[in-house]
Amino acid sequence: MVQFQAQDEFLVDGQPRELVTELWSELTKIQSTEWIMKAKQRDLYLAMQGITFTLSGIERPLPVDLIPRIVEVAEWNHLEKGIKQRIKALELFLDDVYGKQQLFADRIVPKSLIVTSEHFHRSAHGIKPANGVRIHVSGIDIVRDQQGVLRVLEDNLRSPSGVSYVLENRRTMAHVVPELFNEYSIRSVDEYPERLLAALVAAAPDKKSHPNVVVLTPGVHNSAHFEHAFLARRMGVELVEGRDLYCKNNQIFMRTTKGSELVDVIYRRIDDDFLDPIHFKPDSVLGIPGVINAARSNNVAIANGIGNGVADDKALYPYVPKLIEYYLNEQPIIPNVDTFDLQLPDVMAFVLKNISDLVVKPVAGSGGYGITIGPRATKGELEEVAKEISSNPRNWIAQPLIALSTCPTVVEDGTIASRHIDFRPFAVNDGKEIWVLPGGLTRVALVAGNVVVNSSQGGGSKDTWVLAESETDVKSYPEIFEESLIDPLDHEVVPPTVGPDVLPITRMQQQEEQQQQTGVNNA
């Protein structure tokens, strides 16, 4: 087995990198008892704000580690360019697959790979979004390998979730550890809801100036309901369930106390399979019968597009670099993780022989379920997997094991230890520009040595600081005392007064200042 050492985001041979010198000296000043106290403050704050994630039916806060991850300017620019390039190519791919299918004639991707994808929806064929966008929101998962190279681990083009935690993590950090922010100019993540709304408005059919946008949720029992409510609230649009909408004459209406209101754009957070019982699961009560044909006649825009899953199918993943060359005539800026295509017999043989050194993933899986990590699996498990993949090569991919980079993290006993991390930046496509949120969800495996980093696997997250180019750049200084824009949602816990903050006084002073300013302007 190849020996390898994961890179650390902060430290080289135990010494802080230049980028984090100031932060590291702040961090090391904090005693473990203080960390424990701060962790408590954080938990109370999260509970008070109702920032939760449902894991195995239990609603709980998504823990944010109190040590941020820092992305320097040059690296961010590289990532941003790479993500834009990738989304651009994948948009063209989807347009082609659900349209002319030129890529099959040009033998870029085997047709059989696409037509056997469970996410290739023939009912999406011929749907041409008004502004051409299908990937309104994407989350491209990025990891850093042992050589320090950032690679795309997977694409999420259906309903990537987690962006609400990105915004909330920043607020939580500013609340609990404001001292860490001192030496850094950090780019703001707060404009995400505005950007998303602008992209949804731009997606509206007929170029309406004030289209009716809604967020469609499966309901309060969904694990990401907090995020659905958060986004609806921050965009100032209605959060609806399938039964609030109905289709008539190929148009979508919302039932309100005033009567029926035409809906122009649906930002849906339910899966394709549940969207329209005519075309998919006939017993689905979460969706709206008729909505697909409404989209087909461009009476409503559905974001993200129907059938996007064919583009983030893990079996397509090895072909994405080729798609970038084919559609854009460019070389991929961010490389993939090397991936073995098990449908090729030679490759399959190699993989079966070396399975104890590889990672095997189901193509349909998400959330880290069903992954087998060769070096950590028992002989029995490996035999089981070997049998599975040889009988069904289309449903699996294999990759070399990557030692995900680590980052210092506060662990339970209040000490700092290194934990593996990955990164999900979010991009919003409004049809004119692909905008990448400067920040993202850094997920951290809270179990020592765990290399599957996923919130569905009991992981946590980190606030991700993308540094501003220069002092004059737009930056967000933590507005510690600004009242949260989000009303607390969940209150199973009664919060006692948190910490030594003198919140009310400061806030009232701010308001007075504002009033004075207004007075001056009026005079």
Partner 1 sequence: MAWRLSVTHSTSFQYESEVSASFNEARMTPVNTPDQFVISHDLKVNPFSTVFSYKDYFGTEVKAFDVQTPHTYLEIVSQSLVETNIPALGNLNASWDDLQSDVLKNDLREYLSFTELVNPITPPFELRLQDTPLDAIHFLNKAMREQITYLPGSTNVYSPASEAWEKRAGVCQDFTHASLSILREAGIPARYVSGYLYNGSGEIGEQVIGESHSWVEAWVGHWLPFDPTNGNPVAEDHILVARGRDYHDVSPLKGIFSGGRSRKIEVTVSLTRIA
Partner 2 sequence: MLSRLAETSFWLGRYLERAEGMSRLLVEFHQLLVQDNRAHVKRGCTLISHGLGLEGDPKSARELVALAYGEPLNPGTLLGSIHSARSNARLIRDILPSDFYQAINQLNATTDDFSLAAPGRSLRSILDRLAVTNGIFEWLAPEDESAHFLTVGRSLERMDLMSRLLALKLENEWRDQGPATTLRAVGALNTYLRERVPLTTVGVRRFLVESETFPRSIAECAKRADAELREIAVMTQLHVDDILRPIGMLESQIRYLGDDLDELERIIAKTTPAVAQTTDGIGLRFFRPIGSIVWSN
In the complex, the residues that contact partner 1 under the rule CB under 8 A are 104, 110-112, 115-116, 122-123, 125-126, 246-250, 277-278, 282, 289-290, 293, 296-297
- Quick one: what does residue 149 bind among partner 2, partner 1, none, with the CB cut-off 5 to 8 Å set by partner type? none
Which member of 1, 494, 502, 523 binds partner 2 (CB under 8 A)?
494
Does 488 sit near partner 2 (CB under 8 A)? yes
Q: Give the contact letters, 43-62, x = binds to partner 2 (CB under 8 A), - = no.
A: -------x------------
Tokens of 149: 């190279």
The pair phi, psi for residue 391, each rounded to 5°, is -85, -20
Min dist. Cβ of residue 125 to partner 1 (A):
4
User: Which residue's CB is nearer to partner 2, number 237 or number 446?
Assistant: 237
Sign (positive or negative) of CA dihedral 244, 247, 248, 251: positive
Does 257 sit near partner 2 (CB under 8 A)? yes
Which member of 489, 498, 499, 501 binds partner 2 (CB under 8 A)?
489
Does 40 sit near partner 2 (CB under 8 A)? no
Whole-angstrom CA distances from 286 to 261, 279, 299 are: 19, 13, 20
Residue 82 one-letter amino acid: G
Question: For residue 450, what are the contacts with CB-CB under 8 A and spacing of at least 6?
Answer: 419, 420, 457, 459
Min dist. Cβ of residue 334 to partner 1 (A):
29
The stretch among 116-124, 126-134, 236-244, 340-348 that binds partner 2 (CB under 8 A) is 236-244
- Quick one: what does residue 233 bind among partner 2, partner 1, none, with the CB cut-off 5 to 8 Å set by partner type? partner 2
The pair phi, psi for residue 337, each rounded to 5°, is -80, 135
Which member of 111, 207, 208, 243 binds partner 2 (CB under 8 A)?
243
Whole-angstrom CA distances from 161 to 229, 270, 441 are: 12, 11, 10
User: Which residue's CB is nearer to partner 1, number 218 or number 290?
Assistant: 290
- Quick one: what does residue 293 bind among partner 1, partner 2, none, with the CB cut-off 5 to 8 Å set by partner type? partner 1
Residue 78 one-letter amino acid: H
Long-range contacts of 219-225 (CB under 8 A, 24+ apart): 219/286, 221/54, 222/54, 222/269, 223/53, 223/54, 223/55, 224/53, 224/54, 224/161, 224/269, 225/54
- Quick one: what does residue 220 bind among partner 2, partner 1, none, with the CB cut-off 5 to 8 Å set by partner type? partner 2
- Quick one: what does residue 491 bind among partner 2, partner 1, none, with the CB cut-off 5 to 8 Å set by partner type? partner 2
- Quick one: what does residue 290 bind among partner 1, partner 2, none, with the CB cut-off 5 to 8 Å set by partner type? partner 1
Does 519 sit near partner 2 (CB under 8 A)? no
Does 235 sit near partner 2 (CB under 8 A)? no
Residue 342: Cβ-neighbour burial (10 angstroms; 0-12, 13-18, 19+) = buried
Cross-strand bridge partners of residue 436: 427
Does 260 sit near partner 2 (CB under 8 A)? yes
Instruction: Go through 28-40 and write b for each residue having 16 or more CB atoms within 10 A of its CB, e for each that does not.
Output: eebeeeebeebbe
Does 238 sit near partner 2 (CB under 8 A)? yes
- Quick one: what does residue 387 bind among partner 1, partner 2, none, with the CB cut-off 5 to 8 Å set by partner type? none
Asked if residues 184 and 170 have their Cβ atoms less than 8 Å apart, the reply is: no
Tokens 């100036």 belong to residue: 209
SS3 call for 279: coil
Residues that bind partner 2 (CB under 8 A): 50, 220, 229, 232-233, 238-241, 243-244, 246, 254-260, 277, 282-285, 289, 487-492, 494
